[in-house]
Amino acid sequence: MGKQYDHVLIDCAPTLGMADSIVIAAMVDSVVVVTRSGVTRYQTLRRIRDLLSSMSVPIAGVVVNAVDTNSESHYAYYGYYGRKYSAYYLSEGTGEAGSR
């Protein structure tokens, strides 16, 4: 299949819940782990990472679904970094890229 297409995506059941996902992970070039904000626990992500690492399966990235951008925790994180980055990259008052 890789000779006919640049990218092939295969959607699987949760990695820790079904053996099928592990079998498929062993046959692909890399995986993208999809999580749900506020639902997927940190320990679960670590177990997935360790399992895939033990199989020498590279993780291409992580997608986090259902992020509540209005929550206190998100605001605290963005509030701290967002202001600093926007001030650095944008000229004051113009909304245009600055030359800092």
Instruction: Summarize pLDDT for 62-76 with one digit per residue, the tens.
Output: 999 988 877 766 554
Max CA pair span of the chain? 55
Q: Clarify whether residues 75 and 55 are in a common domain.
A: no
Q: Clarify whether residues 81 and 63 are in a common domain.
A: no
E strands, 8-98, are: 31-36, 59-65
Q: pLDDT at position 57, please?
A: 93
pTM: 0.63
Per the structure, the complete domain to which residue 78 belongs is given by 69-100
Q: Where residue 51 falls among pLDDT bands split at 50, 70, 90?
A: very high
Q: Clarify whether residues 40 and 77 are in a common domain.
A: no
Of 68, 67, 66, 57, give the one whose Cα is nearest residue 12: 57
Q: Clarify whether residues 13 and 32 are in a common domain.
A: yes
Q: Clarify whether residues 51 and 88 are in a common domain.
A: no
Q: Where residue 90 falls among pLDDT bands split at 50, 70, 90?
A: low
Q: Where residue 1 falls among pLDDT bands split at 50, 70, 90?
A: low
Report the number of distinct structural domains present in the chain.
2
Comparison of pLDDT for 68 and 22, the residue scoring more: 22
The pLDDT > 70 percentage for the chain reads 69
Q: pLDDT at position 87, please?
A: 54
Of 16, 77, 70, 86, give the one whose Cα is nearest residue 48: 16
Q: Clarify whether residues 55 and 92 are in a common domain.
A: no
